[in-house]
């Protein structure tokens, strides 16, 4: 049987229409793949994108913040001389008296004039907390056997110095600070003879009971007196 050209054309048109329908069908692998790659419904794509964005942003921000923060100022962390305390005035009675063994007592020769000799007694706070000195120390001149030969009288001032105003005040000592008092007397006794030299003193800080031995050579025996404790290391104040 011989096919006519018209019949052949109809068959070709039918086959072409069937192929176009198949290409546009939702079951095609290529079409589904294109649609999934561009869709927000793909769980794998959504998770990867969020993870990458969060990780990159967080790391970059933290690094920038640490880099931008300036280091702490070394100068502001160091104490300066202007902030160091050199004195203070606490309420009366709130600070204990400077007492042995937390105070060091030393003695140095003061000036001598007109048959008078002076010895400056220095009291240094060796403890870790502040202490107070109020009034007169108890001072005795002792001989080589340790016996008391002269006891100093308490007077505001004398020929060589002391507290000229006569006012007795409390001296507060921070750890390491020093106050002083002046011991003085005549180097000639009532008979006009030179006083014997003695090797030491026995000193008790004001308002305390424990005394300490201070090795210092003295040659006073008349009018022996000690003046109040004052600020500084000279034993005298206005």
Q: What is the tally of structural domains in the chain? A: 1
The answer to whether position 53 is within a domain reads no
- Global pTM? 0.64
- Domain for residue 5, yes or no? no
Please check whether residue 122 lies inside any domain of the structure.
yes
pLDDT at 155 (0 to 100): 98
| 151 domain residue, yes or no | yes
54 located within any domain: no
Question: How high is the pLDDT of residue 37?
Answer: 40
Is residue 80 included in any domain, yes or no?
A: no
Give the pLDDT of residue 238.
82
What was the pLDDT predicted at 86? 64
So what's the pLDDT on residue 112? Answer: 84
Task: Give residue 161's pLDDT.
Answer: 96
- C-beta separation of 159 from 152 below 8 A: no
**DSSP annotation string for 131-183:** EEEESPPEEEEE-TTS-EEEEPEE-SB-SS-BBTT----EEEE-TT-EEEEEE
Domain membership of residue 133 as a residue range = 103-231
Q: Is there a domain that residue 8 lies in?
A: no
Quick check: helix, strand or coil at residue 51? helix
Please say whether the beta carbons of 26 and 32 come within 8 A. Answer: yes
Please report the pLDDT score of residue 185 as a whole number: 97
Instruction: List, for the chain, all residue ranges whose pLDDT scores fall below the cut of 50.
Output: 1-84
CATH of the domain at 135: 2.60.40.10
- Relative to beta strand 178-186, strand 103-113 is unpaired
In a domain, residue 25? The reply is: no
pLDDT at site 95: 95
């Amino acid at each position: 049987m011989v096919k006519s050209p018209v019949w052949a054309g109809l068959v070709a048109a039918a086959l072409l229409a069937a192929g176009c329908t198949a290409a546009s069908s939702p079951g095609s692998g290529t079409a589904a793949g294109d649609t999934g790659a561009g869709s927000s419904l793909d769980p794998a794509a959504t998770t990867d994108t969020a993870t990458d964005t969060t990780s990159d942003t967080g790391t970059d921000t933290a690094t920038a913040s640490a880099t931008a923060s300036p280091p702490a100022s070394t100068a502001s962390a160091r104490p300066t001389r202007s902030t160091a305390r050199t004195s203070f005035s606490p309420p009366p009675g709130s600070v204990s008296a400077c007492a042995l063994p937390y105070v060091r007592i030393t003695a140095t020769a003061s000036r001598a004039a007109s048959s008078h000799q002076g010895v400056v007694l220095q009291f240094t706070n060796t403890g870790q907390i502040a202490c107070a000195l109020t009034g007169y120390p108890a001072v005795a001149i002792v001989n080589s056997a340790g016996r008391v030969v002269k006891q100093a009288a308490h007077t505001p001032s004398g020929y060589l110095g002391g507290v000229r105003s006569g006012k007795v005040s409390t001296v507060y000592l921070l750890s390491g600070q020093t106050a002083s008092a002046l011991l003085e007397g005549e180097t000639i006794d009532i008979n006009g003879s030179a006083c014997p030299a003695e090797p030491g003193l026995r000193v008790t800080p004001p308002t305390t009971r424990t005394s300490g031995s201070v090795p210092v050579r003295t040659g006073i025996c008349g009018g022996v007196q000690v003046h109040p404790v004052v600020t500084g290391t000279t034993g005298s104040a206005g």
